[in-house]
Chains A and B, each alone.
Chain A
Amino acid sequence: MVVGEITEERDLIVIGGGPGGYTAAIRAAQFGQKVTLIEEQNLGGVCLNQGCIPSKIWTYTAKKKSEILQMNKLGLAVEEPPLNLDQLLTYKNTITKQLRKGVESLCQQNQIEVIEGKATFTQDDRIGVENGHQFDTYIFQKAIIATGSAASYPSDLPTESNRIILSHDLYELEEVPEHLIVYGDDDLALEVAFTYQSFGSKVTLITEGDLNFDSTIQKELKRILKKKKIKHLKGTSRVTATESSVQVEINGDIIEATHLYTSGERYPNTQSLGLNRIGVEQNDQNLIKTNAQLQTTKPNIYAVGDVTEGPPLAVKAIKQAKVAAEAIADQNPELDLMFLPRVIHTNPPIASVGLTESEAKEQYASIQIGEFSLSGNGYATLTGQKEGVIKVISDAKTELILGIHMIGEGAIELSSNLVQLLEMAAKVEDARFPLYAHPSGNEGLLESIEALTGQAIHQSIKNQKVKERSFQ
């Protein structure tokens, strides 16, 4: 018998404006949904403002810096350019702002209502949005949770030190560390190691075990690390810090450095959403459980991105966002992350899709391996970027391509071809038959496929033996 306050009604509410959130909002709008997007801080999320985008400005700068002296050989007289970190920070802010504006404009064009505030589910069809003293309630038909994740200090590090740099804080740093310890073997850590090596820091990489790559890529990566004088130490370690330095005790030695970088542990931003109250189930790491269409245990609520199970990558969030929005629009989409490309902007970069050699050995009776060193590629030779290798793994019986791994210039751009071959369930001839542009790095891929049968053209005879491995 009580008339309530006006509670506003919405078709679809997306919580979080990162790559998962805004992608879901736009895709849903494309299907005619009236979408409301709630973002606490900046559109674009961690990816655009602190993560992917800023870190790639750094890796790109580092790559260009390392290439620039090479120009002298081509007759372009250049001197080692000093790094102006202030300018780089300004550039980063300009770029992130520009991209953010782009997202804002897309939201506007798609008539997405963007609300600033902190969202909490008050009931399973209701969201409260807090913004300062304002608290508004919205009723929704469907909701997508895309609140992402945040980095936290690993519990075994001393937390009180300005010398320990966590995750994206690195892209705010106003000085180049004299000696940087990169602590951890995750993809971000490897990018940081290469970047600061190029910026002039002494870099020490400390990992617990081996680097987690296909054996061939790992071998080449180690060689390149060594060549760039990035010291790699493996083993259990202990970190202590003072006001001006960091010490790591490893294998009985003490390594002292000016700074230590760690990517930290990521935990999903789900605490203040009120999920327990409304019955959205999470696993023991607080990640939200979903089905293949990203539906949570409350069928009108979906979840995408870092709050769900699986790797905390924007590429996953973006795909999930489209699947969730299409599922809401009754489009019957499917999520299959089997051939999710792993790409790392090291110098040279790494791209990896499908099974590694050891994974393939476990699943197939006999496999074939094709490897091609980029030093045999004409275009790589003329650009002076000959480091790296491409490796193809196929099933010896059916000739199905199982995995492709590359370290070398152009790997990231080429990664889409690698994904497509696997996604189209290509067999060896499907990859060998097409024409590959000449001269280009693409030919490296063709030659690695030809190497499966010992037929790569630009490879020395001694490396040409067919690597067929049988495990029966």
Chain B
Amino acid sequence: MLEVKLHDIGEGMTEGEIVHYLVSEGDTVTVDQPLVEVQTDKMVAELPSPGQGTVKEILIPVGETVKVGTTLLYIEGEGANPTPKTSPEAPTQTVTKESQTFQTKINRVLATPHTRKVARDNGIDIEQVPAKDPSGRVMEEDVYEYMNGQNEPKNEPTLTPSQPDEIPFRGIRKQIAQKMTQSLYTIPHVTHFDEVNMTALYNLRKTLKHDGISISIPAFFIKALTYALKDYPVFNAELDEENEKILLKKDYHIGLATDTENGLIVPVLKHADQKTLQTLHHEVKQLNEKTKAGELDLKDAQGSTFTVSNVGPLGSTGATPIINYPETGLLAFHKTKKVPVINDADEITIGYMMNLSMSFDHRVADGATAVAFTNRFIELIENPNKLMLEMI
């Protein structure tokens, strides 16, 4: 009997909602046949069958949200040991010589294990080394002699110049290129880095989760960001050079830099300051899904006043992000890691630390203001209680 479990199909996914079963109890299924559609916080994914057999029992009803690792259904295999089919995925490496190590023929060159190792360590195929000894035994010296002979560049293979592969430079790729060039050539960028202790926020999130409330980390980031932006409005602004004005905006529309199959797209979460954490959580999720699925409306991708880039789930500890022109700042969140942290009592504790990178337009703000801005943000994230106070 095979158990089909919800497994992690995307970056750090922890749970998924059963959208639809593609098979019914009693159906015969083959390896890799899609069994069930699962909605994660990013996308709808299909789970393929790990083996062949008959669907015995479906355990989780449609509409239920379950944790990664939960058994969704049982497949009764054909025989105790399901026969796997070769995966359609192309092998990245050729497995050869698989039966050679089990042969019983003594057809190898006469050499001791030591001599064999000398050859192996020097990248020499010992079978190719001629033996000086008439008995055919290859000695260590033979290997060295063969090696020196090889170093003479007489059999150098001719190298033919290869042609590079071509990717068409148009569409989203070209738009990204234009926007980035415009931003970087117009705005004098400065980036500073800082670190955030995420431990308290993780604990809070865990507590909420325990009570059945799931709020993603980005929702907290956006909430804290709106307060920091209100305190330092110069970062929720646009420089109007022509009219010699800095426009401090009253709307807090947060751009969410999103990696898609086609490239970078920035959906916009409107009026972030007026929304509750739970609303932010749902909207971030929705925007993400739409963006990844390529279903984003144009109105959802315009009018941002400040942009964040959450690259943490992908990795990285620092970056010098390019500002989303004509905004004045961009905040990138990096990977959260478990690290030793010295607490107030001078003890070493385990903390979750995250780096952030803040790029800003040096024409409209100075370094000290930018640091004060990120300090405010960090204060709210490190002390979620203070964030709560702001929300009252």
A joins B in a complex:
yes
What is A's interface to B at a CB cutoff of 8 Å? 1-8, 120, 122-123, 126, 128, 130, 135, 137, 152, 267, 271-272, 274-282, 284, 286, 289-292, 295-299, 309-311, 332, 334-338, 354-355, 359, 363, 398, 400, 402, 423-425, 427
Interface SS of A by simple majority: loop
Output the nearest chain B residue to A292 by Cβ-Cβ distance.
B97
Interchain residue pairs A-B with the least CB separation, the first 10: A4-B12, A135-B69, A3-B217, A279-B89, A297-B91, A122-B7, A425-B110, A122-B8, A5-B14, A279-B87
A-B contact sample (10 more), CB < 8 A, given A277-B7, A277-B87: A1-B310, A2-B41, A3-B217, A3-B310, A3-B313, A128-B8, A152-B81, A272-B3, A276-B31, A290-B95
Which one, B95, B111, B257, contacts A296 given CB within 8 A?
Answer: B95
B69 contacts A130, C-beta separation under 8 Å: yes
Which one, A152, A276, A311, A425, contacts B84 given CB within 8 A?
Answer: A276
* Separation of A152 and B80 alpha carbons in the complex (Å): 9
Which residues of A have CB within 8 Å of B8? 7, 122-123, 126, 128, 137
B13 to chain A, nearest CB (A): 7
Most buried by B among A4, A280, A284, A297: A4
CB of B42 closer than 8 Å to a CB of A: yes
Output the nearest chain A residue to B7 by Cβ-Cβ distance.
A122
B91 contacts A281, C-beta separation under 8 Å: yes
Which residues of A have CB within 8 Å of B84? 275-276, 282, 286
Output the nearest chain A residue to B32 by Cβ-Cβ distance.
A276
Of residues 301 to 320 in B, which have CB atoms within 8 Å of A's CB atoms?
Answer: 310, 312-313
* Separation of A309 and B100 alpha carbons in the complex (Å): 11
* Separation of A264 and B117 alpha carbons in the complex (Å): 39
Which residues of A have CB within 8 Å of B68? 122, 128, 135, 137
Output the nearest chain A residue to B15 by Cβ-Cβ distance.
A5
B12 contacts A3, C-beta separation under 8 Å: yes
Which one, B3, B102, B103, B258, contacts A1 given CB within 8 A?
Answer: B258
A86 to chain B, nearest CB (A): 34
CB of B67 closer than 8 Å to a CB of A: yes
Which residues of A have CB within 8 Å of B216? 2-3
A7 contacts B12, C-beta separation under 8 Å: yes
* Separation of A298 and B90 alpha carbons in the complex (Å): 10
B59 to chain A, nearest CB (A): 15
A4 contacts B69, C-beta separation under 8 Å: no
CB of B338 closer than 8 Å to a CB of A: yes
* Separation of A334 and B121 alpha carbons in the complex (Å): 10
CB of B239 closer than 8 Å to a CB of A: no
CB of B5 closer than 8 Å to a CB of A: yes
CB of B256 closer than 8 Å to a CB of A: yes
Which residues of A have CB within 8 Å of B110? 400, 425
B101 contacts A4, C-beta separation under 8 Å: no
CB of B228 closer than 8 Å to a CB of A: no
Which residues of A have CB within 8 Å of B285? 2
CB of B233 closer than 8 Å to a CB of A: no
Q: What per-residue 1/0 map shows which CB atoms of B30-60 lie under 8 Å from chain A?
A: 0110000000011000001011000000000
Which residues of A have CB within 8 Å of B108? 336, 338
A355 contacts B312, C-beta separation under 8 Å: no
B101 contacts A1, C-beta separation under 8 Å: no
Which residues of A have CB within 8 Å of B116? 334
Q: What per-residue 1/0 map shows which CB atoms of B252-286 lie under 8 Å from chain A?
A: 00001110000000000000000000000000110
* Separation of A355 and B313 alpha carbons in the complex (Å): 56
CB of B2 closer than 8 Å to a CB of A: yes
Can you list 23 A-B pairs, Cβ within 8 angstroms, ordered by A? A1-B310, A2-B284, A3-B12, A3-B310, A3-B312, A3-B313, A5-B12, A6-B12, A8-B338, A126-B8, A272-B3, A276-B87, A281-B86, A291-B97, A297-B93, A299-B92, A311-B102, A332-B120, A334-B116, A336-B101, A355-B105, A423-B113, A425-B112
B5 contacts A120, C-beta separation under 8 Å: yes
A2 contacts B100, C-beta separation under 8 Å: no
B11 contacts A4, C-beta separation under 8 Å: yes
CB of B158 closer than 8 Å to a CB of A: no
Q: Tally of A-B residue pairs with Cβ under 8 A?
A: 171
* Separation of A311 and B103 alpha carbons in the complex (Å): 11
B70 to chain A, nearest CB (A): 8
A183 to chain B, nearest CB (A): 20
Query: Known contacts A3-B216, A120-B5, A332-B120; is A402 also within 8 Å of B106 by CB?
Result: yes
* Separation of A289 and B96 alpha carbons in the complex (Å): 9
CB of B130 closer than 8 Å to a CB of A: no
B135 contacts A120, C-beta separation under 8 Å: no
* Separation of A5 and B352 alpha carbons in the complex (Å): 12
Q: What per-residue 1/0 map shows which CB atoms of B310-353 lie under 8 Å from chain A?
A: 10110000000000000000000100101000000000000010
Query: Known contacts A5-B12, A123-B8, A336-B101; is A271 also within 8 Å of B112 by CB?
Result: no
Output the nearest chain A residue to B117 by Cβ-Cβ distance.
A334
A200 to chain B, nearest CB (A): 35
CB of B98 closer than 8 Å to a CB of A: yes
Which residues of B have CB within 8 Å of A152? 80-81
CB of B160 closer than 8 Å to a CB of A: no
Most buried by A among B13, B106, B312: B106
Output the nearest chain B residue to A300 by Cβ-Cβ distance.
B92
Which residues of B have CB within 8 Å of A123? 8-9
Which residues of B have CB within 8 Å of A427? 135
A6 to chain B, nearest CB (A): 7
CB of B162 closer than 8 Å to a CB of A: no
A291 contacts B7, C-beta separation under 8 Å: no
* Separation of A220 and B130 alpha carbons in the complex (Å): 42
A3 to chain B, nearest CB (A): 4
* Separation of A336 and B41 alpha carbons in the complex (Å): 49
Which residues of A have CB within 8 Å of B95? 281, 289-291, 295-297
* Separation of A296 and B102 alpha carbons in the complex (Å): 17
CB of B104 closer than 8 Å to a CB of A: yes
B121 contacts A291, C-beta separation under 8 Å: no
A119 to chain B, nearest CB (A): 12
Output the nearest chain B residue to A136 by Cβ-Cβ distance.
B69
B81 contacts A425, C-beta separation under 8 Å: no
Which residues of A have CB within 8 Å of B3? 272
Which residues of B have CB within 8 Å of A425? 110-112, 137
* Separation of A298 and B218 alpha carbons in the complex (Å): 34
Which residues of A have CB within 8 Å of B69? 128, 130, 135
* Separation of A128 and B288 alpha carbons in the complex (Å): 25
Which one, A1, A332, A424, contacts B288 given CB within 8 A?
Answer: A1
